[in-house]
Structure 1
Amino acid sequence: MQRVWGWINNATGINQRCKPQWHVSTCITAIYFFMKKILFLINPVSGKLVGQSLKDSIISELDGVLDRGCFDIEYSARDIEKQCNNHLSNYEIVVVAGGDGTISQIVKVIVGLEKKPKLGIIPIGTGNDLANSLGILHLYKSQGLGPLLKTILRCKVAKIDILSLDNKCIFTNYLGIGNDAKISCDFNRLRYKPFLRYISSCISNKGFYGLLALKNICYRIPFDIEICYQNELLETEIITINKGFCEILITDTKMYAGGVEISSKCRMDDGKFEVTVIRGMWEWIHLFFAMLCKKPLDTITRNLIQFQTDRLELNFTGNTFCQVDGEKYDSFANGEKRLLVNVVSSCEMIVP
Structure 2
Amino acid sequence: MVVKEENYKKAARVTGKNVDPDDILLNNLVSIFIDSVKRGEKEKKIVESFIARISALKTTTKHVFNLFSKLQHLPLYQCLLGFAFEYGIGTKVNLYLAFICYKTSSENFNSLGQVYLAKCYKHGKGTEKNNIAAFWEYLKSAIGGCSEGQYGVGRCHENGTPIRASHVVSFMQQQNIRNTGLNAYELSCPGVMSLYQSEANTKNQRAFFWFEKAASNGNIQGQYVFAHCYEKGKGIAKNQELAFHWYKESAQSGHQMAQSKTGFCYFDGNGVTRNTFIAFGWFYKCARNKLKCAERHWVARCFRNARHTRKDERKAFLLYQMELIYDRNPRVNYDLASCFKNGWGTPKDVHQAIKLHRKALRNELKSRKKLFKMFKIDFY
> TM-score, with normalisation over the residues of structure 2?
0.25
Higher relative contact order, structure no. (Cα contacts within 8 Å, ≥ 6 residues apart):
1
> TM-score, with normalisation over the residues of structure 1?
0.27
- Structure number with the higher helix fraction is 2
- Structure number with the higher strand fraction is 1
